[in-house]
A and B are shown apart, each in its own frame.
Chain A
Amino acid sequence: MNDLNTNTNGEYAIEGNNLNIYYGDFRAIKDVTLKFKARKITALIGPSGCGKSTALRAFNRMNDLVPISRLEGQVLFRGKNIYDPDVDPVEVRRRIGMVFQKPNPFPKSIYDNVAWGAKINGFKGNKSDMDGLVEQSLRQAALWNEVKDKLNQSGLSLSGGQQQRLCIARTIAVKPEIILMDEPASALDPIATLRIEELIQELKQNYTILIVTHNMQQAARASDYTAFFNMGEDRAGYLVEFGETDSLFTNPQNDLTEQYITGRFG
C-alpha cells in the first residue's frame, strides 16, 4: 500500500492544490496552487509575513508540529496526497528533506551529523558503507575537503556557512527526492551565500529544490522558476504570479510583481 514508494511521478515532482493553511482562526495561506517540476529549482519570494515559509513547510508536513495549524487542499507527491490519513508524516519527511534558515547541526561530531539520519532510517550497510555515504554526502555538499581531517570534531565548531553545508549534507544523506530550503543563506555572509548558491546549482542534477528567499538577486540568479507571494488585505498570503524565472523578472504579468522586483515595496 506504500504509494509514496511505488507510484511513478507524473509531470511534476510535487504539487499543491488549493492550499489553505490556518493557524487557529487565522488564515495564513489562501488558495495556493503550485506545481513543481522535477530537478528544477523553484524560488518562493515575497515580502515578510506573506506566508512563503508556511507554504514551503506544507510540502513536508512540518506545519504539523504547530498544534493549532490546519490545512485544507491537497499536496500530491507521486500521485498520493501526503495529507491522507494513511500517510505517515515520518515517511514524507524522509523523502522530502528540509534545510532551515539558521544552521542547526546536531551537537555531535561532523561524521555523526551526517550518519545519524541514515542510522535512524534503517541504513543497512556496514561501517565502510556508512563511511562511503558520509564522504559522498559531504562531497555533494562541497564540504568534504574542508572537514575530511576532522570528522570527529563537533559540528558546532564549524563556521556558519560550513554548518549550513553540513546541514545540506545531512539532508541529502537520507536520499530524499525533494529538498525544501527555508532562506538557507539569510544568516550567512555574502561569500558563504555564494557558495551555497553554487551548491544548490550542483544539487539540481539530482534533486528537486524549493527555496524560500527574501533576496531577489538570489532568486533571479539561482532559480529556474519563481513564485511570487503577497499578503492580502486580510493578512493571508496568496500566490500572485508563478512562472519561469527569466520571464517573471524580465516581463512580469502582474503590476504587484513588477513593483516588488523593482524594489518599490516589500
Chain B
Amino acid sequence: MSHYPEGDALLAQINGRHRRGAIWRTLFLSATIIAVLVLIALLYNVVNSAFGLTAVENKVDPASLAVDGVPLEELSKEQLVNILAAHISTGLGRRLERDQLFFETQTVFEDPALFNELCASAEPPAACALPARSQEDVYRLVLERVVEPNVVQTWSLADSVLHRSAVLAQAQQEFPDAEISFRSWLTPAFITTPQSSEPELAGVRTAILGSLWVIAITIAFSFPIGVGAAIYLEEYAQPNRINSLIQTNINNLAGVPSIIYGMLGLAIFVRVMEGFTSGAALGLMDDSTTANGRTILSAGLTLGLLILPIIIINAQEAIRAVPGSLRQASLGLGATKWQTIWHHVLPNALPGILTGAILSMSRAIGETAPLVVVGASTFITVDPSGPFSKFTVLPIQIYQWTSRPQAEFRNIAAAAILVLLVLLLTLNATAVYLRNRYSTRMA
C-alpha cells in the first residue's frame, strides 16, 4: 500500500505545487515592479522641477540696452562698463571696483589717488592683487545689476508639456510684461558657475569640487585602513575574546546613525585636531578662508570613519570567500603566509573588496547630516583650493536650496540633484569598469 497519491490525485498534487510556486513568483514580480515604480517616481519628481516654462520679468529690457543694433552680450567691455555706470549708484560701483578692477590702468568709479592709497594701506582691497574683470564678467554684472531678470513664476515640466496653452494664457494674463520661455535649469553654466544668492545665476561649481575633494580624501583615508584591518582580522587575528569583541563592535558601528559620526568628527577633527585639519600645524593654512578646523580634510576624515566599518566588513567577506584550496596550494609550495595573502588571497578578493568600496563611496557622496555638524559652509563662492579650504558639497547645497522660500530655488535644487546623480553614476561606472578590467585579467 503506497503512501503516495496516484493518477488524478498525483496530477492535482503536482498542479497544486506549481500553483504555489506561481503565487510566489507573482509576489516577487510585484516587489520588483514596486521598486521600479518608486525609482521612476523619484526621477519624474526631479526632472519635473528641473525643466519647464518660466516667466521672467526684466527690470530693464536687454533689447533697449543694445548699442547700434549690437545685442548686449556682444558689446565690448568699454560699452558694457558705460551701461553699468549709467545704471548703478557710484557707491555700488566703488564696491564692485574694490572687489576687482574694470580696467588695468584706470579706475571708473574710484578716485585713482585714493585707490592707490588704499592699496598701500595695511588691508588693501582684493582688487589690488587681481587682474581686471573680463568682458564676460562685466556682462554678468550688467545682467545682475541692470537687467535684473526676475523669475516671477515657473511651471513644472508636466504642466509645460501637457497644458502648454493653458499655462501660456495664464501667464499672458498675470504677467503681461514677462517673457515666457522654456527653460532648463540644468545648463552648462549651472555646472561651471559658483553659488549666488540669485537663483537664476547660481551654480554648483563649488559644490561639485567640494564633493570631489571630500570623496577623494574619504577614500584615501578609509580604503587602505579598512582593507588592512580586514586582512588582519581575517588572516592573522586569533579567534579569542578580544578579537571577537572587536569584530562585534565593527559590525555594530556599520549601523550607527551618520549624525553620530558628525558629532565625533566635530569633536575630534574640528576641535581637538584643529591645528592639523586647518593646516596651521603644517604651515598650509588657507588665509583667505579662515576655516578653522571646518575644512575639506575634516569632512573627508569624518566620512572616512563613517564608511570604514562598511569597507572592513565587505573586505572581510571577500577575503573569506577566497577558497581554502588556493591557500593550501600556495602554502604547500613553501610560500609564507604573507606571500600567500599578497599573491593569491588579495588578488582573488579584490573584486569583492572593490565592490564594497564602491558601495560605501556612493553612501559617502550622498551624506548630508554629518557634514552639517562638521560645519560645511552654507554659502561659498570660492573654489576649494585644497584639503584645508572651507567647503560645501552637493547634498548640502541641495538641502540648503530646498529650504529657501523662493520657488526658483527648488528648480535649481532639482537640477543639482540631477548633477549629483550623474556624478554618482560616473564615479560608480568608473569604479565598476576598473574592477571588471582587473578581475578579467586575473582569471
Q: Mark A145-184, 1 if CB is under 8 A from B, else 0.
A: 0000000001010000000000100110010000000000
A42 within 8 A of B: no
Docked pose: A117 CA to B336 CA in angstroms: 11
Cβ-defined contact, A106 with B334, below 8 A: no
Cβ-defined contact, A116 with B238, below 8 A: no
Docked pose: A162 CA to B264 CA in angstroms: 57
Cβ-defined contact, A93 with B331, below 8 A: yes
Instruction: Give the chain B neighbours of A95 by CB distance below 8 A.
Output: 334
Docked pose: A120 CA to B343 CA in angstroms: 10
Among residues of A, the one whose C-beta sits closest to the C-beta of B327 is A65
Cβ-defined contact, B326 with A104, below 8 A: yes
Cβ-defined contact, B331 with A62, below 8 A: yes
Instruction: Give the chain A neighbours of B122 by CB distance below 8 A.
Output: none
Q: Mark A61-82, 1 if CB is under 8 A from B, else 0.
A: 0100101000000000000000
Docked pose: A90 CA to B348 CA in angstroms: 22
A9 within 8 A of B: no
Docked pose: A65 CA to B326 CA in angstroms: 13
* Minimum CB–CB distance for A118 against chain B, Å: 9
Cβ-defined contact, B443 with A154, below 8 A: yes
B333 within 8 A of A: yes
CB contacts under 8 Å to B, within A86-119, are 90-91, 93-95, 97-98, 100, 102, 104-107, 116-117
Residue of B239, B323, B332 most packed against chain A (CB within 10 A): B332
Which among A65, A67, A94, A107 is the interface contact of B333 at CB below 8 angstroms? Answer: A94
Among residues of A, the one whose C-beta sits closest to the C-beta of B347 is A107
Cβ-defined contact, B328 with A117, below 8 A: no
Docked pose: A170 CA to B329 CA in angstroms: 10
Cβ-defined contact, A97 with B332, below 8 A: yes
Docked pose: A111 CA to B73 CA in angstroms: 67
Docked pose: A106 CA to B336 CA in angstroms: 16
Cβ-defined contact, B334 with A174, below 8 A: yes
* Minimum CB–CB distance for B438 against chain A, Å: 12
Instruction: Give the chain A neighbours of B329 by CB distance below 8 A.
Output: 100, 104-106, 167, 170
CB contacts under 8 Å to A, within B324-342, are 325-336, 339
B contact residues, total (Cβ < 8 Å)? 21
Which among A93, A100, A117, A156 is the interface contact of B325 at CB below 8 angstroms? Answer: A100
* Minimum CB–CB distance for B170 against chain A, Å: 67
Cβ-defined contact, B328 with A97, below 8 A: no
The interface residues of chain B, by DSSP majority, are classed as: helix
Instruction: Tell me whether A104 and B238 are in contact in the complex, defined as CB-CB below 8 angstroms, given that A120-B334, A120-B339 are known contacts.
Output: no
Among residues of A, the one whose C-beta sits closest to the C-beta of B324 is A65
Docked pose: A116 CA to B442 CA in angstroms: 14
Docked pose: A67 CA to B333 CA in angstroms: 20
Instruction: Give the chain B neighbours of A117 by CB distance below 8 A.
Output: 333-335
Docked pose: A107 CA to B438 CA in angstroms: 13
A60 within 8 A of B: yes
Docked pose: A105 CA to B339 CA in angstroms: 16
The interface residues of chain A, by DSSP majority, are classed as: helix
Docked pose: A56 CA to B344 CA in angstroms: 25
Docked pose: A95 CA to B333 CA in angstroms: 9
Q: Mark B334-369, 1 if CB is under 8 A from A, else 0.
A: 111001000110001000000000000000000000
Instruction: Give the chain A neighbours of B339 by CB distance below 8 A.
Output: 120
Instruction: Give the chain A neighbours of B332 by CB distance below 8 A.
Output: 60, 62, 93, 97-98, 100, 171
Cβ-defined contact, A65 with B328, below 8 A: yes
Among residues of A, the one whose C-beta sits closest to the C-beta of B439 is A107
Instruction: Tell me whether A170 and B331 are in contact in the complex, defined as CB-CB below 8 angstroms, given that A107-B348, A120-B339 are known contacts.
Output: no
Instruction: Give the chain A neighbours of B443 by CB distance below 8 A.
Output: 107, 154, 156
A121 within 8 A of B: yes
Cβ-defined contact, B333 with A104, below 8 A: no
Instruction: Give the chain B neighbours of A67 by CB distance below 8 A.
Output: 238-239
Docked pose: A94 CA to B238 CA in angstroms: 25
Among residues of A, the one whose C-beta sits closest to the C-beta of B239 is A67
Instruction: Give the chain B neighbours of A94 by CB distance below 8 A.
Output: 333-334
* Minimum CB–CB distance for A59 against chain B, Å: 12
Docked pose: A96 CA to B334 CA in angstroms: 9
Which among B323, B328, B333, B348 is the interface contact of A120 at CB below 8 angstroms? Answer: B333
Instruction: Give the chain B neighbours of A107 by CB distance below 8 A.
Output: 326, 348, 442-443
Among residues of A, the one whose C-beta sits closest to the C-beta of B328 is A100
* Minimum CB–CB distance for B122 against chain A, Å: 67
Docked pose: A104 CA to B336 CA in angstroms: 18
Which among A62, A91, A174 is the interface contact of B328 at CB below 8 angstroms? Answer: A62
Cβ-defined contact, B326 with A90, below 8 A: no
* Minimum CB–CB distance for B327 against chain A, Å: 8
Instruction: Tell me whether A170 and B333 are in contact in the complex, defined as CB-CB below 8 angstroms, given that A104-B325, A120-B343 are known contacts.
Output: yes
CB contacts under 8 Å to B, within A242-259, are none
Among residues of B, the one whose C-beta sits closest to the C-beta of A170 is B333
Docked pose: A100 CA to B326 CA in angstroms: 10
Docked pose: A48 CA to B332 CA in angstroms: 23
Instruction: Tell me whether A104 and B334 are in contact in the complex, defined as CB-CB below 8 angstroms, given that A67-B238, A120-B343, A154-B443 are known contacts.
Output: no
Among residues of B, the one whose C-beta sits closest to the C-beta of A113 is B329
Instruction: Tell me whether A171 and B325 are in contact in the complex, defined as CB-CB below 8 angstroms, given that A67-B238, A120-B339, A154-B443 are known contacts.
Output: no
Docked pose: A106 CA to B348 CA in angstroms: 10
Instruction: Give the chain A neighbours of B336 by CB distance below 8 A.
Output: 90, 120
Docked pose: A100 CA to B328 CA in angstroms: 9
Docked pose: A106 CA to B239 CA in angstroms: 28
Instruction: Give the chain A neighbours of B326 by CB distance below 8 A.
Output: 104, 106-107
Residue of B327, B334, B348, B443 most packed against chain A (CB within 10 A): B334
Interchain Cβ contacts under 8 Å between A and B, 9 examples? A60-B332, A62-B328, A67-B238, A67-B239, A90-B335, A97-B332, A105-B329, A120-B333, A120-B343
Enumerate the 8 nearest inter-chain pairs by beta-carbon distance, A residue then B residue, closest first: A94-B334, A117-B333, A104-B325, A98-B332, A104-B329, A93-B334, A120-B339, A120-B335
Not counting A94-B334, A174-B333, a sample of 4 additional A-B residue pairs whose C-beta atoms are within 8 angstroms of each other reads: A93-B333, A104-B325, A106-B344, A167-B329
